[in-house]
Structure 1
Amino acid sequence: MEPKNYGLNELRELFLKFFESKGHLRLGSFPLIPQNDASLLLINSGMAPMKPWFTGEQEPPSHRVCTCQKCIRTGDIENIGHTARHGTYFEMLGNFSFGDYFKRDAIHWAWEFLTSPDWVGLDPERLYPSVFAGNETTPADDDAFEIWNKEIGIPAERIFKFGKEDNFWEHGSGPCGPCSEIYYDRGEQWGCGKPGCTVGCECDRYIEVWNVVFSQFNSDGEGHYADLAQKNIDTGMGLERLACVCQGVASLFDVDTVMNITNKVSEITKAHYGESAGTDVSLRVITDHIRSATFMISDGVLPSNEGRGYVLRRLLRRAARHGKLLGVNEPFLYEVCDTVIRENEGHYPELREKQEYITRVIKVEEENFAKTIDGGMSILSGLMDEHKAKKEQVFSGADAFKLYDTYGFPIDLTREIVEEQGMTVDESAFKTLMEEQKVRAREARAALGDLGWAGIEFGKDMPATEFVGYARREAEARVLAVVADEELRESAGAGAEAIVVLDRTTLYAEMGGQVADHGTLRCGNMRFEVTDVQKNKGGKYMHYGVVLAGEIKVGDTVTTSYDMTRRRAIARAHSATHLLHKALKTVLGDHVNQAGSLVEPDRLRFDFTHFSALTAQELSEVNRLVNESVLEGYSVRTDVMSIEAAKKTGAMALFGEKYGDTVRVVNMGDYSVELCGGTHLDNTAKVGLFHIVSEGSVASGVRRIEATTGEVSLNVMSQNQEMLFQAAAVFKTNPGELREKAEQTLGELRDMRHAVETFKAREAVGEAGRFLMGAKDVGGLKVLTSTVPDADADRLRKMGDFLRDKDSSVVGVLSTVKDGKITFLAVCGKDAVAKGVKAGDIIKAIAPICGGKGGGKSDSAMGGGSDVLKLDDALAAVDNFVADKLGI
């Protein structure tokens, strides 16, 4: 009995409906970017986003859940396209129980879904289950065997028992357990033909379509297993793999929705399956990678040189290179996006909503890569030829590093191209050179960012400094350490530059992009002026400054006080960055995330993830939204809470930032809610005028906005207004009519300039005509030379064009001297050229006389010289040159 020919989208919906009928809550796919899980770069399995529900750390929305989860796996990316099984993007169907049903229900429902005519309808005789065979530390899964044998009715000889590698799910310490897989026999035509070929063979005959994990033990990671109080079910079934079985096709690339994408690629590239093995590989690579890229970008991943951004960049660049192998040298991947979206939008409608954004990201990355690969490929080809000429099979690590460091050519791309030519890369040498470069970079950064005495050890027993400056301007503190002349000292006197470490402070240290407070430390007649505050790894606040009066000593009790004017100006700029972040997300999309910032008094620099320059309209709208939120006068509330509670409020956190168990949540009227440790205003109205100064690129996929707030914005506005009034006075009008007056004046200037140019042209032609009247006859050609005072090159050309076009027998050489430099122009009419007299040859003959050079075409040429005293000799040589050419 052949299985029903379900389409991939039909199978997905069929599975979810089935488990909904069994009391499961259907959830949408979680994003590919893991939430609150630093152990994963990208979601790679159906259960990965649900770890807290499995461990009991969080209460699930239901104790029965079913999903179809988007997944990315890139561990075997080199195999993509070469095999029928490997793909980077796939969907995992799953039904999950968190302390609810267990083995019996899980096995019965798996069998019902796969074999019932009302559902998938696979032939029961072609299905083979497997169970865990047990080992010295963990007992065999006899319960699962009994259910398959006694309740489902599978003969014992058709139930396969495998070891821990195949039938036990475990990942370090934590929940784990045996699993039961179901294999489908596709028939002899798919087999390897070897004797004894059966379930577990590496060929394509017996394909696993179901895997249910019985999470029943807790492992300590050292081989000891205890029963879990809450037993769970984790079922995983590859949607594409099940579609292969139902549709009777050879690979995931032949499944209906995937093949439709390949057909689009073929339409663009004019390449088709079956033309050659290389063509098939390239078509598969492009199809797989564009699927992955589309979903990754939709979920907020942007191309970059690290982390998940690098995974995306590598996929796009690999696909683009295979496009070049198929003869496509222009960006084309972005054109395939519509097909990917059309095939998947039924279940993932967000793809259509973000189509324009996804397309733009891919196109920009393709265009950027084109610049890299075009230069790098020619260099790589030359280097490979050199290796082959020496009969070397190993491509040197130094050459691979040169390609990476100088031309931006990724090592994985170099490796792939080199291996296609039967060579390998010396990656050990490459990694050594990379590490040396990192060391140099670290040393350079250390030299640039040297804080003088920041490396001083203050002692492990010294407590970290307590910051109390959010709510108070002043506080009493004890001096724990004094550093002067780069050494720990007991005290520092008047005039000494020093670092002072306190047990508490109200001065904010530079961190999170916010510059440090300035202020004072006072004790009696002692006054220490603080010009910088840095926080070291031990949590000590180092107050840099100078002793203005008295002496500061270890053990002193001082009063700390920050500069209120500076603090307020910094707070204005910092609060504005939160409003700017929100405005950018509103205008550009949720993919925008902060990638760095610098907050100074009434000035800010904000880096954010985005793929292209902002248009004038987008910048204007961002500026408007920030100022609108300022005018709204949102109250700014700061709450201290646990990290989990903060995330439940929807507070934005910076990716990659390390947060403690307790965080500060800055809420601006519920308009902007972010985790932030900086200092802020108590109302957005106090930001004052927000003004965007510039917007530009700082790295691929990262943009930067620089802006001003408060007094700086007011000063800029006042200066601009003053210039406006001054300009209006110059034009003798009022500011409201300045633009109209300026345009009128510019129009008049254009007309006047045109009239002057016309006059100059006529005057030049008239003067050239007078030169022609004085020409000498040399062998039937009219030869003339002349020096034109204070002429530029354009004037000479106009005169020369007139002479050449006026008389076909003319041979003219004009010169001018400006700033001690000679400019020559030679022209020859068509009759002169026909007799062998060419302008370029004349210039080459006379320019060297004046210490210069030049050349050009036969009818017009230019040159120069520097010896003005030889100018007459050069012009006198023209007659002789023409005579020699004519043989006179």
Structure 2
Amino acid sequence: MESKIVREFFLNYFKERNHRIVPSSSLVPAQDPTLLFTNAGMNQFKEVFLGIEEREYKRATTCQKCLRAGGKHNDLENVGFTPRHHTFFEMLGNFSFGDYFKKEAIEFAWELSVKYYKISPDKIWVSVFEKDDEAYNIWHKIIGMPENKIIRLGEKDNFWAMGDIGPCGPCSELLFDLGDGAGCGKPDCTPEHDCGRFLEFWNLVFMEFSRDEKGTLKKLPKPSIDTGAGLERVTSILQKVKSNYETDLFLPIIDKIYKISNYKYGKDTEKDIAVRVLADHTRAVSFLISDGILPSNEGRGYVLRRIIRRAQRFGKNLNIKPPIIGRIYEEVKKIYEDIYPEIREREKEIKEISLSEEEKFERTLEIGLEKLDELFQRYKGDIIPGEEAFVLYDTFGIPYDFIEEISREKGFKIEKDGFDKELENQRKRSKIFQKFAPSYKEIYEKLSREIQVEFFGYENLNCLGTLKAIIKDNNLINYLNEGEEAELIFDKTTFYGESGGQVGDKGLIEGNGALFEVKDTLKNLNLIIHKGKLTKGVLKVGERYNLSVDKNLRKATERNHTGTHLLHYALRKILGKSVRQMGSLVEPERLRFDFAYQRQLTEEEIKKIEEEILEVILMDKKVNKEFLPIEEAKKRGALAFFEEKYGEIVRVVSIEEISSEFCGGTHLNTTGEIGILKIIKESSISAGVRRIEAITGFSALKEFQRKIEEIKEIKEELEVEEEKIIEKIRDLKEKNKELQKKLKKLYKEGTKNYILEKFGEINFIRQEVEDMTIEEMRSMVDEYKNKIKESVILVYKKEENKG
């Protein structure tokens, strides 16, 4: 069975059983800083499982793009050395949100596996949690699984938890027996041996408990189901092959590697590893870049850089030179372009970014290898200190095994303990782990389940709201006294919480003799949090207050937000459709827009972009805001962005006949309200990413006024009319050049007429001058110093009425 049929069978099977087919989310987890990458099908449903978010369906099925190559879940170093480890993979899954439970989940998995996929029942074993008698009995009494093929395992293997606290529950795994030739070969082998004979291909998680801070398990009122079946593994079973790399998901890629390396897979163990690494890593790099991730020195970009460099290192084992990934990518595109169109749409970026990174690493390797040679010269023994090897690894990006391999060839060993110690120290201070450490405080998760916040800020700037919670120093309190700072949560608000690149609102909260200044507004889960200081009175939970957004700041922010949409439109029109937004910052004073593009913009291009934007501003186009079903919005051509999370209903901001984007931010009603947009800076922030900073409205006016004032001062200083300023500056530069020549000549002439006296071995030079400045006299001293070494020099001039 072809892999695409395996995928279709799974999704359609569950669709026929009233599951909503939900598209794969991005590899960048939306609004979840606890994850480096999407690594499971349930990630996009996390808030549904937590009870924070509700959807219009209770059953869902997905084929989810996943990546395990960083943070807690990291398979990177194993890839290539085993038949089944991957960085990128696809996870098939079916989910129940308080609808069906264990019986139906087990029956679905069994029926699809045996009846539709035609996997022999004799080949399937199952595991259950050691205390889960319910699952055991369903498998034995309802499905008819023999007792000797149901394995009870402990919490380590068969109990799943979302975190230290929160939803959790036992799980049951379906395993395929690869036969006597696999694993340990013992006739009494069972899945407990963990020898590789039994391939786990489907995991059923029964989310029936919630664990509290004390570790106590409580039954959930609506237990849920989360399952995951690896597409690559299921395909290998159905195509009757021993390795995922022998399926149709990899063979075309491996054949492409053969064509560019002239190495036939299967002839040499070491080279086979390199082929598997290249096949896997090309898939990973292609999907990461297509989801908007770019190489960098931290976070997700750092992982991407490591994957590219690891692929390049193994490419050397096959004598493949750059471009490596760009050439192999062609087969990846053919396999996935119909399922994930972004793989085709981002072809240019995938090829250009991967090549740029490969070329950089080639140069880095040259420098790094020179440094390694220096170490061989310095340490005449046979041991290279681990600290020295770590510098090559950390500073120059040379993989450890590459350093180890070259050292071994030269007769050296690396002191591994020292290297590991440095690596551990680096991990502790690593930005990856700082950036992606859990940040959702328990208090907010609790409040998000208890409070439903209504946002009225799209239409209004003022509203009445009931104060539902006060958080001070991470504690819930009922009163806030004058002079204290805290975070407030209301049931209704007009304050926009920072999200989608737009900063949070500022303003005032008043009532019952109290005045609270809102200095910032944040969004956390489904909560809108008002941060600030109580300047008057007392605030009490349960009382109603008037919430007022600062209208001038909001309007300025809206100018810049609508301005970013026009900037995006103009960039795509002038530079081409390959331009893609990578990030933005929208605040009252300015806007910042990051976009994928490979080179610096010319002055002419910047002018054209500004003119295109001004033309739309002068047209005073209407800015429409509407909520639409996500599929309808996509059909209309609205642009979506990888870093945002979208539900079934999305907000679309459209400028008539100009642009249409998914956007939850606040906007103007017409483009004319922007007034003017002026680009003040264009720069590079990383490989393949440019940044534009711009100002609008009153900020632009102030900048123009400042420039005009500067021109006025320059005009007065130069004593010319404005249109003659440039001409005057050029004239002064030319005169200055001539004067410099004359002065140089004078210095040389002047230094001929000096008086030289000797005091022992010391030369004493004195020179009287006229009409010279201090700076000119210093220059003359420099001339003498160049002519006569080891001397004391005195250059002086006489001035009237001075001693």
Q: TM-score range by the shorter chain?
A: 0.5 to 0.7
Contact 2:79 2:277 in 1 (8 A): yes
Residue number in structure 2 paired with 1:55? 50
Matches within 5 A, 1:836-855: none
Displacement after TM superposition at 1:290 (Å): 1.1
Instruction: Kindly state the Cα deviation for residue 262 of structure 1 after the two structures are TM-superposed.
Output: 1.9
- Aligned identity (percent) is 35
Aligned residue in 2 for 1:215: 207
Q: Please state how far the C-alpha of 1:337 moved relative to its aligned partner.
A: 1.7
Structure 1 residue 409: deviation in Å?
Answer: 1.6
Would you say the 8 A contact 2:291–2:642 is kept in 1?
no
Q: 1:9 to 1:624 in 2, by over 3 A?
A: farther
Matches within 5 A, 1:469-484: none
Give the match for residue 784 of structure 1. Answer: none
Closer, same or farther: CA 717–572 of 1 in aligned 2, 3 Å: farther
Q: Distance in 2 between matches of 1:344 and 1:338?
A: 10
The answer on 1:323 being equivalent to 2:315 is: yes
Partner residue, 1:415: 400
Alignment match of 2:672 (pick from 662, 665, 685): 685
SS in 1 for 2:93: strand
Matches within 5 A, 1:805-824: none
What secondary structure, in the 3-state scheme, does the structure 2 residue paired with 1:593 have? Answer: strand
Structure 2 residue 134 is matched with structure 1 residue 143? yes
Q: Which of the numbers 171, 175, 191 marks the counterpart of 1:179?
A: 171
Opposite residue 391 of structure 2, the aligned amino acid is: F
Q: Where does residue 153 of structure 1 map in the other structure? A: 144
Give the superposition deviation at 1:431.
6.7
| Correspondence for 1:367 | 359
Residue deviations 1:773-808 (CA, integer Å, cap 9, x gap): xxxxxxxxxxxxxxxxxxxxxxxxxxxxxxxxxxxx
Could you tell me which of 347, 372, 384 is aligned with 2:339?
347
Match of 1:613 among 596, 599, 605: 599
Q: Is the 8 A contact 2:295 2:304 kept in 1?
A: yes
1:620 positional shift: 6.1
**Greater shift in the superposed pair: 578-587 or 258-267:** 578-587
Residue in structure 2 matching 1:35, options 30, 33, 36: 30
Verify: 1:123 aligned to 2:120, yes or no.
yes
Q: Do 2:183 and 2:195's aligned partners in 1 also have CA atoms closer than 8 Å?
A: yes
Q: Which residue of 1 aligns with 2:247?
A: 255
CA-CA distance at 1:68 after TM superposition: 0.8
1:68 alignment partner, one of 56, 63, 70: 63
Shift of 1:319: 1.1
Amino acid paired to 1:126: K
- Between 1:49-58 and 1:623-632, the stretch displaced more is 623-632
Task: Compute the displacement of 1:279 (Å).
Answer: 1.4
Query: In the alignment, which residue of structure 1 is the partner of 2:613?
Result: 626
Q: Quote the Cα distance in structure 1 between the aligned partners of 2:625 and 2:219.
A: 44
2:594 partner letter: F
Does the C-alpha gap of structure 1 residues 539 and 428 become closer, same or farther in structure 2, counting only changes over 3 Å? farther
| Corresponding position of 1:426 | 419
C-alpha displacement at 1:193, in angstroms?
2.1
Q: Offset of 1:708 from its aligned partner? A: 6.1
* Equivalent residue, structure 1, for 2:98: 99
- Residues 372-402 of structure 1: per-residue CA shift (max 9 Å, x gap): 2332233234335645x322254225x6337
> Is contact 1:465–1:504 with CA below 8 Å preserved after alignment?
no
Q: 2 CA distance for matches of 1:18 and 1:162?
A: 30
SS at match of 1:94: strand
Q: Deviations over 1:565-598 (max 9, x none)?
A: x999999778645643565577555842336689
Shift of 1:473: 14
Which residue number in structure 1 is paired with residue 391 of structure 2?
Answer: 401
SS in 2 for 1:213: strand
Q: Which has the larger radius of gyration?
A: 1
- C-alpha contact 2:285 2:308 (8 A) present in aligned 1: yes
1:398-797 mapped onto 2 (5 Å cutoff)? 400-401=390-391, 404=394, 408-410=395-397, 413-420=398-405, 421=408, 423=414, 424=416, 426-429=419-422, 462-464=483-485, 576-577=563-564, 579-581=566-568, 583-584=570-571, 591-594=580-583, 606=592, 608-613=594-599, 619=606, 622-633=609-620, 684-692=671-679, 695-707=682-694, 710-711=700-701, 712=703
Taking the aligned partners of 1:216 and 1:101, their CA distance within structure 2 comes to: 12
Residue 237 of structure 1: CA displacement? 0.7
d(CA) in 1 for partners of 2:396, 2:299: 18
Aligned-partner residue type, residue 700 of structure 1? A
Counterpart contact for 2:623–2:670, Cα < 8 Å = yes
Q: How far is the alpha carbon of 1:214 from its aligned partner?
A: 1.6
Partner of 1:242: 234
Q: Take 1:633 and 1:38, find their aligned partners in 2: how far apart are those partners?
A: 39
The CA deviation string for residues 280-320 of structure 1, in whole angstroms up to 9 with x for no partner, is: 22211111111111112222222222222222122112212
C-alpha distance in 1 between matches for 2:13 and 2:507:
66
Q: Corresponding residue for 1:769? A: none
Letter in 2 for 1:96: F
When residues 611 and 304 of structure 1 are mapped into structure 2, their CA distance, relative to the original with a 3 A threshold, is farther
Structure 2: 5+ residue runs without aligned partners?
Answer: 432-480, 489-493, 497-504, 523-529, 536-549, 627-637, 646-651, 728-744, 749-782, 784-803
Give distance in 1, aligned partners of 2:381 and 2:584: 47
TM-score scaled to structure 2, two decimals? 0.64
1:699 counterpart letter in structure 2: S
Q: Is the 8 A contact 2:581 2:641 kept in 1?
A: no
Give the equivalent residue in structure 1 for 2:113.
Answer: 114
When residues 36 and 465 of structure 1 are mapped into structure 2, their CA distance, relative to the original with a 3 A threshold, is closer
Q: Cα–Cα, structure 1 residues 187 and 346, in superposed 2: closer, same or farther, change >3 Å?
A: same
State the distance in 2 between where 1:622 and 1:11 align: 47
Write the letter of the residue equivalent to 1:235.
Answer: T
**Contact 2:375–2:384 under 8 Å retained in 1:** no
Q: Distance in 2 between matches of 1:350 and 1:715?
A: 45
Whether the 8 Å contact between 2:180 and 2:187 is mirrored in structure 1 is no
> Is the CA contact (8 Å cut-off) linking 1:85 and 1:252 kept in structure 2?
yes
Q: CA RMSD in A?
A: 5.0
CA distance in 1, matches of 2:557, 2:236: 60
Q: 1:192, 1:240 → 2: CA distance? A: 23
Q: Does 1:285 align with 2:282?
A: no
Q: Which amino acid aligns with 1:41?
A: L
Identify the structure with bigger relative contact order (alpha carbons < 8 Å, sequence gap 6+).
Answer: 2
| 1:332 CA drift (Å) | 2.1
Contact in 2 for aligned 1:574/1:599 (Cα 8 Å): no
Matched-pair contact (CA < 8 Å) for 1:301–1:591 = no
Q: Secondary structure at the match of 2:49?
A: helix
User: 2 CA distance for matches of 1:177 and 1:374?
Assistant: 52
State the partner residue of 1:391.
Answer: 382
Contact 1:595 1:702 in 2 (8 A): no
Number of residue-to-residue matches in the alignment: 602
Change (3 A) 1:573 1:65: closer
Q: Which moved more, 1:605-614 or 1:258-267?
A: 605-614
For each residue in 1:511-538, what CA deviation from the matched residue of structure 2 results, as whole angstroms up to 9, or x when unmatched? Answer: 9xxxxxxxxxxxxxxxxxxxxxxxxx99
2:106 partner letter: I
